[in-house]
Amino acid sequence: MEFYDIVSEACDFDEAFVKRIGLSKVFRAGKDFPVVKDDGRKGQGNAVMAMGPAGDALLHRIKEGAPMIVITDLKAERKVLAFMKDHGSALCIPLSYLTIPYGIERSRSILKASRLYVAARKAGLEVFFASLAQDRAGMLSSMQMVELAKLIGADETYARFSMGNTGKAVSR
């Protein structure tokens, strides 16, 4: 099975490394596909990914039609999730948000991500897992991504299926 990952534009890696960690392709968000961040500016209508904390600004981004949403504060807001369902957007859970913090902050992030995953699946959303790493230290192998997805509540079959579909989702 082919697995994909999404990292930030600035993340540096080579293709041999991508192959070694068990991934078919790693997409650079902002380079391989357009991304809109919640910086108060009006977004581009063709953005594939929208990022921001759960709130009204993110609702605007969803309304603009981004098919993949990253909730950066990992808050499971029912209103946002229902709005995503209505607009056909999928949720992307950033796994580096769990691996980079340390100690109690990491435990809190795991709990939040777990609640977000459960609420999103209950709301009927498609959920993707990506590292969204800022640098090589934040990148994860396919095995690690599956285990982290399991840690926050996904079953192995769904985690593998979702990681295999990331490529299609960003090419929509």
Partner 1 sequence: MMREKQRYLLVEAMSSIEGDERAVNYALSKELSRVIGESHFHVPNPRVVKVLDRTHFILRASLEGTGEVITALAFIKRANSLPNAFYTLKSSGTIKTLNDLYASLK
Q: Which parts of this chain interact with partner 1 (CB under 8 A)? A: 20-22, 95, 99-100, 102, 106, 136-141, 143-144, 147-148, 150-151
What's the closest the beta carbon of residue 92 comes to partner 1, in angstroms?
18
CB of 110 to partner 1, least distance (A): 10
- DSSP label of 41: S
Going across the sheet that includes 127-130, the strands are 35-37, 49-52, 68-71, 90-94, 127-130
Smallest distance from the beta carbon of 24 to partner 1, in angstroms?
15
Q: 72 or 144: whose CB is closer to partner 1?
A: 144
Helix (H, G, I), strand (E, B) or coil at 99: helix
Q: How far is the CB of 75 from partner 1 (least distance, A)?
A: 22
Q: Do 151 and 112 touch, CB atoms closer than 8 A?
A: no
- Coil, helix or strand at residue 137: helix
Instruction: Name which of 95 and 125 has its Cβ closer to partner 1.
Output: 95
Distance CA 165, CA 172 (A): 11
Q: Which is nearer to partner 1, 89 or 109 (CB)?
A: 109
Measured from the CB atom, is 71 or 145 closer to partner 1? Answer: 145
Closest CB 68 distance from partner 1, rounded Å: 22
On whether the CB atoms of residues 87 and 65 are closer than 8 A, the answer is yes
Q: Which of 86, 155 has the CB closer to partner 1?
A: 155
Measured between alpha carbons, how far is 124 from 139 in angstroms, rounded to an integer? 28
**CB 31, CB 8: distance < 8 Å:** no
For the four alpha carbons of 13, 163, 63 and 96, in that order, the dihedral sign comes to: negative
